[in-house]
């Protein structure tokens, strides 16, 4: 078991990574829940697939414990789910010392983290991410939130967990498309970290589908370390440094909405990175050689990511509503080469429409 320490301004916490971390970390769960109540927010699919692990967790938890199971989808990352969680906690008379444990992918973590951040003005919570995407990205860094109306993640908080337990065994039950979604964020980290890591991912990504532990441990470790160190320097996206983590995401979020959430987040991230690479090239930031190299990995997934007929204008208009914009113009994270990012880049509408068309051409049905 490896431990990465994240020393964020608001909290110092450990991310534990390994095979069967669950059992190895059990005593810490016991001590955190000693004399306190606990609520476990769990994705119902994960509950069915990993009953033994969840039972083991419940045995370790001291005090009153309740389990809130829910179907993890974007529709349920909502106020209605929050209300159900709070109703349950109030029925059980759970107070400020309650420990919340979120077991699931990014949806469960974002919802559980948000509930923990506002219940009784903030209670302790532990993340147990069960998707590759959550392990490499969403469980790290303390961004919590829910969707509201048409807008994703618009209501939320920055709130760091007590710990994050990454048990790589959960990956064994993930369907191929969910592994691909996790790889979407890993490709992003390849471009953020530098060519060595990017080329390692490009040359070995297929090992993720075969549950190759060495590869999985390496990509999780690199991604968590990078995100952790970025969050330490700019926890609440104040100085701009944390913005680099949004590479490809301005496009991705708009694609998700335009496609009516029929495309998964991680797949939209891959398509969105394709658009961001094209825009970087169009604006003269990235040369053709780099563009070709980075795109060659994106294109590998052309048969697995499928977009319904889309409207570039609509994607553009949705991007204009992005909460990260300033003064009515879209703020892009663009890239010169792996490891060299440009934040707050602006582009004219024609260039953006052109990059949407070029970036999405590989995924049209």
Catalytic residues: 121, 143, 185, 227, 237, 242, 246, 249, 253, 265
**Nearest to ligand NAD of 254, 291 (CB atom):** 254
- Taken in order 223, 228, 230, 231, the sign of the CA dihedral is positive
In 3D space, the residue among 59, 45, 123 whose CA is nearest the CA of residue 90 turns out to be: 123
Residue of closest CB approach to ligand NAD: 106
Does 235 participate in binding ligand NAD (rule CB under 6 A)? Answer: no
**Nearest to ligand NAD of 105, 272 (CB atom):** 105
How is residue 301 annotated by DSSP?
T
The least distance separating ligand NAD from the CB of residue 145, rounded to whole angstroms, comes to 7
Does 102 participate in binding ligand NAD (rule CB under 6 A)? Answer: no
Does 130 participate in binding ligand NAD (rule CB under 6 A)? Answer: yes
The least distance separating ligand NAD from the CB of residue 210, rounded to whole angstroms, comes to 16
DSSP string across 13-78: EEEEEETTHHHHHHHHHHHHHTTS-EEEEEEHHHHHHTHHHHHHHHHH--S-EEEEEE--SGGGSS
d(CA 349, CA 99): 48
The single residue listed with the structure tokens 């949004």 is 246
**Nearest to ligand NAD of 119, 290 (CB atom):** 119
Does 49 participate in binding ligand NAD (rule CB under 6 A)? Answer: yes
Cβ distance 26 to 53 under 8 Å? no
Tokens of 19: 């095979």
**Nearest to ligand NAD of 43, 222 (CB atom):** 43
Does 281 participate in binding ligand NAD (rule CB under 6 A)? Answer: no
Does 108 participate in binding ligand NAD (rule CB under 6 A)? Answer: yes
Cβ-based neighbours of 44, under 8 Å, separated by 6 or more: 69, 70, 71, 72
Does 222 participate in binding ligand NAD (rule CB under 6 A)? Answer: no
Does 106 participate in binding ligand NAD (rule CB under 6 A)? Answer: yes
In 3D space, the residue among 325, 315, 178 whose CA is nearest the CA of residue 255 turns out to be: 315
Does 46 participate in binding ligand NAD (rule CB under 6 A)? Answer: yes
Position among 61, 102, 137, 297 found at the interface with ligand NAD (CB under 6 A): 137
Does 205 participate in binding ligand NAD (rule CB under 6 A)? Answer: no
Mark the segment that binds ligand NAD (CB under 6 A) among 19-27, 42-50, 211-219, 282-290: 42-50
Cβ distance 358 to 280 under 8 Å? no
**Nearest to ligand NAD of 180, 330 (CB atom):** 180
Cβ distance 106 to 116 under 8 Å? no
Does 180 participate in binding ligand NAD (rule CB under 6 A)? Answer: no
Position among 17, 42, 72, 334 found at the interface with ligand NAD (CB under 6 A): 72
Cβ distance 315 to 251 under 8 Å? yes
**Nearest to ligand NAD of 96, 209 (CB atom):** 209
Cβ-based neighbours of 125, under 8 Å, separated by 6 or more: 99, 100, 101, 102, 112, 113, 116, 159, 161, 162
Does 174 participate in binding ligand NAD (rule CB under 6 A)? Answer: yes
Give me the helix-helix angle, 176-193 and 265-282, nearest 10°: 30
Interacting residues with ligand NAD (CB under 6 A): 43, 45-46, 49, 72, 74, 77, 104-108, 110, 130-131, 133-134, 137-138, 141, 143, 152-153, 170, 173-174, 178, 181, 265-266
């Amino acid at each position: 078991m490896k431990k990465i320490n994240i020393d964020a301004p608001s909290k110092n916490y450990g991310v534990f990574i390994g095979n069967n971390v669950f059992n190895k970390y059990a005593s810490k769960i016991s001590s955190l829940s000693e004399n306190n109540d606990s609520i476990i927010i769990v994705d119902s699919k994960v509950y069915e697939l990993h009953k033994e692990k969840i039972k083991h967790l419940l045995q370790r938890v001291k005090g009153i414990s309740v389990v809130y199971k829910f179907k993890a989808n974007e529709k349920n990352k909502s106020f209605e789910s929050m209300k159900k969680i709070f109703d349950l906690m109030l029925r059980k008379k759970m107070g400020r010392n309650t420990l919340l444990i979120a077991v699931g992918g990014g949806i469960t973590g974002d919802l559980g983290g948000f509930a923990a951040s506002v219940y009784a003005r903030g209670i302790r919570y532990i993340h147990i991410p069960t998707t590759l995407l959550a392990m490499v990205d969403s469980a790290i860094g303390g961004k919590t939130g829910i969707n509201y109306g048409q807008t994703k993640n618009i209501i939320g908080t920055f709130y760091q967990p007590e710990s994050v337990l990454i048990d790589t065994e959960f990956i064994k039950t993930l369907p191929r498309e969910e592994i691909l979604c996790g790889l979407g964020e890993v490709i992003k980290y390849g471009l953020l970290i530098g060519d060595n890591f990017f080329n390692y991912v490009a040359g070995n990504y297929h090992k993720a589908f075969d549950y190759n532990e060495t590869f999985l441990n390496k990509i999780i470790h690199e991604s968590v370390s990078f995100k952790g160190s970025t969050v330490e320097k700019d926890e609440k996206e104040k100085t701009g440094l944390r913005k680099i983590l949004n590479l490809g995401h301005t496009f991705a979020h708009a694609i998700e909405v335009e496609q009516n959430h029929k495309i998964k987040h991680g797949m939209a991230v891959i398509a969105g990175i394709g658009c961001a690479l094209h825009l970087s090239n169009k604006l003269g930031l990235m040369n053709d050689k780099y563009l070709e190299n980075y795109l060659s990995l994106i294109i590998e997934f052309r048969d697995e990511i499928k977009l319904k007929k889309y409207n570039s204008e609509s994607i553009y208009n949705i991007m204009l509503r992005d909460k990260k914009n300033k003064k009515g113009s879209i703020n892009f994270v663009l890239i010169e080469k792996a490891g060299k990012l440009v934040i707050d880049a602006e582009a004219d509408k024609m260039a953006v429409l052109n990059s949407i068309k070029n970036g999405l051409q590989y995924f049209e049905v």
